[in-house]
Amino acid sequence: MDITHSLSLAPALLAPTTFHSAADIATDPKLVPDEPGIYGWWFDDAMLNVPVGESLEIGDRRLLYVGIAPSAPSRSGAASRRTLRDRLKNHTRGPMATSTLRRTLASLLGGQLGLGVLKLPSGKLAMSREDEVRLTGWMTEHARVAWMVHLRPWQVESALIVGGPRLPLNIRESSDPFRAELQALRRRLGS
């Protein structure tokens, strides 16, 4: 898929005119639609160890990750009721156990930010409240998000990961060369 086709699938996501920070969403969660959709996280140059060549760039930010709410229905047809608002609240304030993006960022930034990650008896990963706040602060400073409402966001997400712009922080369905390194970092983190 070429970038022109990708833009026709998700213009509000791939060529946003408005970005929001984690602090924006924490202050006013109603900024985010309480509907299904797809979102994209744009980062400044603070992601030092992430290859960003061929990713989309607007100003000083690059699109490095896309996600959806809800996930695709299961094979049995069971569907989640999660919305963009639910999902972005998880990403912007934690806990990391409920956010793939936060686990990825913790694996990439743990040493730099001094984050301590532990595995709970349930097998889920966790950080202290102070470390969750530190990660949220980093996101507020260095990341912005844009979104669009879509009734079947998993279709757009799959098309973008498989054939759209480079998205080095996505793992599922990705063939990006950085995927193996990111998976190794995530395994070391315990996820």
Residue 4 has pLDDT above 50, yes or no: no
Q: In 3-state terms, what secondary structure has residue 142?
A: helix
Summarize the confidence of residues 19-37 as an average pLDDT: 95
Is pTM beyond 0.85? Reply is yes
pLDDT tens per residue across span 84-115: 999 999 999 889 999 999 999 999 999 999 99
What confidence tier does 48 reach under pLDDT thresholds 50, 70, 90?
Answer: confident
User: What are 154-161's contacts with CB under 8 Å, separation 24+?
Assistant: 154/68, 154/71, 154/72, 156/9, 156/10, 156/13, 156/38, 156/68, 157/38, 157/66, 157/67, 157/68, 159/1, 159/6, 159/9, 160/6, 160/9, 160/10, 160/14, 160/38, 160/66, 161/66
CA distances from 122 to 48, 98, 116 (A): 32, 13, 18
pLDDT given for residue 191 in this prediction: 61
Summarize the confidence of residues 65-73 as an average pLDDT: 93
Summarize the confidence of residues 115-125 as an average pLDDT: 91
